[in-house]
Structure 1
Amino acid sequence: MSYSRVIPIEFCHCDPAGIVFYPRYAEMVNHMVENFFIDEVGYSFARMMAEGFGMPTARLEVDFRKPSRLGDRLEWLLSVEHVGRSSARFLVRAEDRVEARSTVVWMDRGFTPAPWPGHIRPALEAHHA
C-alpha cells in the first residue's frame, strides 16, 4: 500500500533558472515521511519530540531523473521498503522526476536506537511493499 500527496513546486523551491534546487527535494522527501506519520501512523513528529523520542534520517539516497519547474504539481508516493528492529527504509517517488530512499531510526529518550513501539510497527508493516 502506498501513501500519496501532491506537493506544488513553489518559488521557494527553485533556483534562478526556475527549476527545483536539488536540496529542496530532500525537504520534500522528509515532508512525505513526516506527513505519512501524521496521516497513516497517527503519530506526529511534534508529539514524538514532546514525548522525548526521535526518528532521525540515517541515510538518504536520491536519483534525479528530470527537472521540476515552478508551478508544477508533483504527485509523490511513499511505500515502506523495509522494516527492521529499529529502522525503516521508505521508497519515495515523485512521478518520473525523483526517486529517493530514506532510512530512519527510532530513538528512545536516551538517544539510542530502540525497537519500534507497538503503536508504530503495525502501520509500517501495513505499508510494506
Structure 2
Amino acid sequence: MSAYQREILVRFAHCDPGGIVFYPRYFEMINGIVEDWFEDAVGVSFSGMLFHRNLATPTVHFDVDFVARSAMGERLTFFLTVERMGTSSFDLRHVGTCHGEERLRCAQTLLFTDAKAMKSLPIPDDLRPRMERYLTGG
C-alpha cells in the first residue's frame, strides 16, 4: 500500500477574514486532490472520464474531523489512501498535515455512475487494479 501525496499552498482565497482556512474550502482541496489522483496515479482524467467515457464519481458521503486550524501561507500535505473497494463505490481516506502536525482527517465515499443516467456502474475493470495500488488492506 502506498499513499498518494499532494502539497497545497493555503492561499487568500481559501481563508476567512481572520486568515484561517474556511472549512468549505477543504472540500474544494479534497476534490482537487481526488482529481489529481485519478489523473496522476489511476491514469485517467476527470474530463476524460466525463467526456470520453461518460463516467462520473460523485461523493455520496463525507466524515470529517477538523483537528487544528490552518493559516494562509502554510503548505498542507495531503495523503490519500483507498480504504475499501466495492462493486461500484469506494472509500478514500484523506489526512492533511502541516510540518507533520495533523490538521484534517476525512473519510469519503464515491460512487461510479453513468454520467447521463446517474445510475451506479461497476468500477471499470481497467481502473480497478490501478486504484487497488492505494488500498490499505483493511
- Normalising by structure 1, what TM-score? 0.97
Which residue number corresponds to residue 94 of structure 2? 92
Partner-residue secondary structure (3-state), 2:40:
helix
CA distance in 1, matches of 2:63, 2:35: 17
Which residue number corresponds to residue 27 of structure 2? 26
Which residue number corresponds to residue 69 of structure 1? 71
Any runs of at least 4 consecutive aligned residues in structure 1 with deviations exceeding 6 A, and if so which?
none
Residue by residue over 1:57-107, the C-alpha shift from the partner in whole angstroms, topping out at 9 and shown as x without a partner, is 011111000000000001110000110100111000101000001110000
Pairwise CA RMSD of aligned residues? 0.8
Partner-residue secondary structure (3-state), 2:50:
helix
Partner-residue secondary structure (3-state), 1:97:
strand
CA distance in 2, matches of 1:102, 1:35: 16
The amino acid across from 1:60 in the alignment is F
1:119 aligns with 2:126: yes
CA distance in 2, matches of 1:125, 1:50: 24
1:50 aligns with 2:57: no
Q: Shift of the alpha carbon at 1:110? A: 2.5
The amino acid across from 2:20 in the alignment is I
- Structure 2 segments unaligned to the other structure (5+ residues): none
CA distance in 2, matches of 1:116, 1:49: 14
Partner-residue secondary structure (3-state), 2:20:
coil
Residue by residue over 1:28-72, the C-alpha shift from the partner in whole angstroms, topping out at 9 and shown as x without a partner, is 111111110000011110111102211100111110000000000
Flag the structure with higher strand content: 2
CA distance in 1, matches of 2:131, 2:84: 9
1:35 aligns with 2:36: yes
Percent identity (aligned): 40
- Normalising by structure 2, what TM-score? 0.91
Which residue number corresponds to residue 10 of structure 1? 11
CA distance in 1, matches of 2:124, 2:14: 34
